[in-house]
Structure formats: structure tokens, C-alpha cells
Amino acid sequence: MARSGFLACNLASRYGTVKRARGPFLYTEKGVRLTDLYAEGGRAILGWGGGPAVTVFKDVLARGITGSYRTDWDYRLDKALSDLLGFTAVGYAFSRMQDAQGSLAERPELWRPWSGRSYAECRAVIVEPPFPMAGGITLLAVRKELDFTNPPEQGICIPAPLQAALARSLYDIIKAEKERQEKDFFIYDTILTRYWTRKGPWLTPKLPESAYQDFILHCLDCELVISPCYGRDSIVPFGVDKGVFRKLERTPFAF
């Protein structure tokens, strides 16, 4: 079973289906509020609900431009990628990250917010947009001067409403990177750094991979949802009260 499926099945068996999601919280069928440190691998790093990006999505959807033809949002999404990365970019969309990585002779860089990394000198960057509804879309931003006569193989077309939402989500993360700082992340270190090494909001597990599956289940019992993949970091949930980690603090995981 895929790791995400393992997490979903065990979450449902304990707490029932997820009935509502808001900010960093999942509200379940059994009336339990779970704190989400997985955030769809970063797609929901700005919180569940999508914020202003959902409003933009609805506004463009209401115009009925949902086909595969070009709209102004093709160019606006490229502009958002350019503003995010610091170079003039042309964007291509893929349904799998592997396809985006394999579309160029050289391996593109991977974008990660709060990494402290400058992308201005990169030739190509892979961006997973911080918009939960776009879980199946990976963007490849290529310098305009390296643009292709024909789109890379395996590329997909994105309808205008989703392009609009993705563009807005990129501007939202640009704004959030200026507002959320180290002081917003280290306040949970006394609890979290027992199990993870933290850099910004990103949490890399300290425990061995052989113990990680049991740790996922232990965290679920403590009403915490963490990354189901050992090689994919969990994320500090922004703005939560320290009390959400109380069960983990009181029942530590031995490894």
C-alpha cells in the first residue's frame, strides 16, 4: 500500500472520515480535531481551505473559461512563477513530478519555501504549488531564454480557473515567507526536536526509518497527522497552541 494510503486508512479506522478542514486542523466524523503536520507534503502549508486562491478559482470558474484553449491566465501564471523565483520564467504543468524532472536534459532544482535558497540563478525549477486542490499538478519553471518551441513531453493543460488559483497561491506564499519567521516555528522545539530536526517549518525525522511506521501510528493516537513518507518532511503547523502536542509530550515514543 502506498504510504499516503496507509496514513488515510489508519486515520479513518481511528477517527472516521474527515468532515471539515480549516487552517492546520482536520475535523473528523467522530468529533476529533487532528493537527495536520503533513499538509499534503506542503500543498496545504498555507492552511486548508485555500484562502484567497479559492475565491479567485470561483471567480474565474464563473466566467465559464474551463477549456484547453489559452487565456490570460497562461501568462499570469508565468508572471507569478517569475516573481516567486526571481527570473523570467515560462511554466509547464505535469501530472507527475517524475515527468517534470525527466523533461529536461539537466535535473531541475526543487523549490521549497523558507529554505533560504535563492533561485535567481537557476535555469529550471520544479514548483509544487501551495494549493491543496492541485495535488496532481507539478509546475516546471524554465528560464524564458531556454523556452522550447514545443512543450516538453508529458505536459498537461490546466484550465483557467485552476491556473488563476495556482497563480494566487504563489503570491500568497511570497507574502507568507515575509510574514512567518523563525520565531513562529521554534516555539514548539521543546517537544518536536525530540523526534525531528527542524529547519524553518520543515521537520526531518531523527528516528530510524525502521521505526517510522510505528511512529506515524503513535502520532495518530496523539491526534497528530505527520508525513506518511520517511523521505518527505513534516511541517510545523503555523499558529497552533502548544497544547495540541500535549498527548505526544505525555506519551513519548521510544526509539
Q: Is the pLDDT of residue 151 over 60?
A: no
Structure-model confidence comparison of residues 230 and 67, the more confident one: 230
CA atoms within 13 A on the CB side of 215: 22
235: Cβ–Cβ under 8 A, 6 or more apart, which residues?
37, 38, 39, 42, 45, 201, 202, 203, 227
Q: Is the pLDDT of residue 4 over 80?
A: no
Q: Is the pLDDT of residue 10 over 90?
A: yes
Out of 49-53, 103-107, 175-179, which region has the weakest mean confidence (pLDDT)? Answer: 103-107
Res. 248 pLDDT band, cuts 50 70 90: very high
What is the four-CA torsion angle of 133, 137, 138, 140, rounded to 10 degrees?
Answer: -120
**Alpha-helical regions (H) of 86-224:** 97-101, 160-179, 182-185, 189-192, 212-221
Q: Is the pLDDT of residue 1 over 60?
A: no
pTM across the whole model: 0.90
Which pLDDT belongs to residue 96? Answer: 79
Average pLDDT over residues 191-199: 97
